[in-house]
Structure 1
């Protein structure tokens, strides 16, 4: 089977990204992610920059956004249709793991948010990030690369590909999509402090540090599920042995997560079978012996026949 590294279509990533409008005029100060049809999240430093247009350097601002403030945003696909939102909660932009701002839209988005949010983070996975860097206020643009590890401050490094866009100003608040997990795993929070030394390095705030906070209790979570579309998408993301090993680890974790969902386990087993190899074969044999659901077990049996 031919497999090539496949990213999420740009049009789909744009569907859950919004631009944060400047305090006055048509400028853009950053990005935001739709968590559900009413809630969006951005970076606290993006809102501080918006409130202090003459003092863009963090730490020099004199106006502090507070809950209840009104913020104008627009969907990436609808630059000419501004939407009003209210600031619900905001962290400290000077603390990397607290650099978030939760907003509630006055009117719900007119399309469902079909993407899953994941609070699991895996270094080494390929990512796609969408945002509005300088010169791309209207169309936005996408950056690709590899998710790194968390540094001592809790920021997770994003290593952008040499042949694409760097993760830089304008991406802050935008979504980070994990190609293996097939989910949004966090938001971009900034780039390296020395862009000439580390021009391809950005950082993200993982949802693992956000989604369990009380401020996010009202955010709707898309139900976890795994089926034929997820099978095809994950297989398309496997470009070599590294991605193959990552996918196997990810799928075995999914078997445990879907302990109450035999249909999803059925498809996870089929995906493992499509990946194949001796290691997968042993896993499927164990699954056949231990599965307590007939339908899920049949998936493991069918997968073993093709592994």
Structure 2
């Protein structure tokens, strides 16, 4: 077990002093909270209301009585649905009448692309002492970037008493957010967390109680206002598409400093950051074309790499992802959520070639990269060729080969097998789907072969990905269908070999016994043989005939004019 893992396990064997249980004055438990400052407790807004009295208990600090608390209007962000119907907000800060010692507090921690196992502390009904529940972070949802939590076991679904409770990341042993809500519908297994950076976008005053690297370098966020520059609409549209995860995962572009493109870039980086995107700056661009506005959470890190070494860049990436002690590129491949990073000034880095080598390894592991060069030239052109053009051509070529394999190899193999043996009724649907896949792939291959180059641009790579997924599904289904039929072909050959080998001995034995046994043996032999040689062969009917023939020959099946079989060797 790693040192970090040991630390996380130890923390879950005790009740942290920062855990708060929030009650009404009459003792009714409403939810949980996190002590961020001696006199501040962070919780979910639906747990409390401004101006009402509450009592907060700190179950991890023995001997401390309940503390009176209230919520002010300027520290209360109620849950709302935005224009798209996504949930937003649901955060509040309770002010304690009597502050606690500072050593009982904890800090929020910024963590990019939450992933992996976490624990949350809350108070299910009847358990005033509280307990830990385990969960796995699944993915961000909605424009407020609330994160889905899947319980590790069905009994660990976050009950209402967990609302407002802290969520601790196992890798870093840090509080990375709070529980907001629980889906209580039929079959629901999810609860939701507001991550630290989303909390800060609604409650910026909580930044003083926050640790962890900010996503955006100060040099890349000079305070975006509506009058700060002129929007380059085509470039803004291209950037927003990349931040939405559309098109080719690596975008290489040239953005001179102090230019209109530079302002457009900083605008996009700011709006795509969970912490920096606020109601104030989004309203400033409310009249911009919608396609130019990126989603919040569109990147994990925006870094000005001027004068930085490759090792320093890797350290910054590892820090944002919560990787401690061993920041190797290989560790990023194990992350459930791919890295999305903006790197500005790649050509001005201390080691441009070494940095590009590192970024190439990250790209091969699935990272999404926006690589910004300050000047056009050979290095930016080579990067565009290496990260975009060549791999894109290779993927199209590989798709061609996969389509050829389906149409020219798997399709004929399926036809050849279906000509030899009939279809098992239980697998007919699979085989019909496989045949339909060949027909559709034949049309797709013709379309791809005549696709104009403009349809193969990086920004339209989602079309390529769709085709690749379809080809993979069809190839897998065809291989399965051929395998099913191949098993029936082999069974037919086994039955044919058994009948052929059995016939000489059977004929000799029947002749020795005399009577009509020779005639019956020959009839059963011819019936089995004719069914096996029929094309396509009905393997099930043939196997029944072979069993009757072999049974008759071995004496375990009745002969003509008899009512019971006679023993004999096979």
TM-score (norm 2): 0.35
Change (3 A) 1:107 1:254: farther
Pair 1:83–1:254, CA change in 2 (3 A): farther
Per the alignment, residue 146 of structure 1 pairs with 136
Query: For the Cα contact (< 8 Å) 2:169–2:176, is it kept in 1?
Result: yes
Work out which of the residue numbers 255, 259, 266 in structure 1 matches 2:315: 255
1:140-219 aligned at under 5 Å gives the runs: 140-152=130-142, 154=144, 155-162=146-153, 165-194=156-185, 196-198=186-188, 200-213=189-202, 215-217=203-205
Separation in structure 2 between the aligned mates of residue 163 and residue 177 of structure 1, nearest angstrom: 19
Q: Secondary structure at the match of 1:204?
A: strand
SS class of match (1:208): helix
Could you say if the C-alpha distance between residues 32 and 76 of structure 1 is closer, same or farther in structure 2, counting changes exceeding 3 Å?
same
Secondary structure, aligned partner of 1:170? helix
- Counterpart-to-counterpart distance in 2, 1:18 and 1:31: 5
CA, structure 1 residues 252+172, in 2 after alignment: closer, same or farther (shift >3 Å)? Answer: farther
- For 1:130 and 1:254, the matched residues in 2 are separated by 33
What is aligned with 2:54?
71
1:147 CA displacement:
0.6
1:46, distance to aligned residue in structure 2 (A): 1.0
Indicate the residue corresponding to 2:78 in structure 1.
92
| Higher RCO structure (Cα 8 Å, ≥6 apart) | 1
Q: C-alpha displacement at 1:77, in angstroms?
A: 2.5
In our comparison, the structure showing a higher alpha carbon Rg is 2
State the Cα distance separating 1:12 from its structure 2 match: 5.2
Contact 1:130–1:140 (Cα < 8 Å) also in 2: yes
The residue number in structure 2 matching 1:53 is none
* Residue in structure 1 matched with residue 539 of structure 2 by the alignment: none
Report deviation, 1:43: 1.1
| Residues in 2 aligned to 1:115 and 1:253: alpha-carbon distance in whole angstroms | 28
Structure 1 residue aligned with 2:111, among 95, 120, 126?
A: 120
The aligned residue for residue 82 of structure 1 is 66
Shift of 1:119: 2.9
- Given that residues 46 and 79 in structure 2 are in contact (C-alpha distance below 8 angstroms), is that contact kept between their aligned partners in structure 1? yes
The whole-number CA distance in structure 2 between the counterparts of 1:186 and 1:98 is 13
Q: CA deviation at 1:14?
A: 3.0
**TM-score by structure 1 length?**
0.61
1:40 is matched with 41
SS of 2:200's partner is coil
Change (3 A) 1:158 1:2: closer
Deviations 1:55-111 (A, max 9, x none): xxxxxxxxxx33x44321111235871101221321123443210111121222124
1:139-165 deviation per Cα after TM superposition (whole angstroms, max 9, x unaligned) = 101111211112236431000102752
CA deviation profile, 1:3-58 (whole Å, cap 9, x unmatched): 8955342365532110111242x2211111111222111111111xxxxxxxxxxx
SS of 1:256's equivalent in the other structure is: helix
Q: Mark the runs of 5 or more structure 2 residues left unpaired by the alignment.
A: 82-86, 214-299, 302-310, 334-349, 352-570
For 1:220, the equivalent position in structure 2 comes to 208
Distance 1:106 1:23, change over 3 A: closer
Q: 1:152 to 1:221 in 2, by over 3 A?
A: closer
- Pairs aligned (count): 226
More strand by share: 1
Unaligned runs of 5+ in 1: 48-64, 226-248, 260-266, 280-289, 292-307
Secondary structure at 1:210's aligned position in 2? Answer: helix
Structure in which a larger fraction of residues adopt helix: 2
Partner secondary structure for residue 217 of structure 1: helix
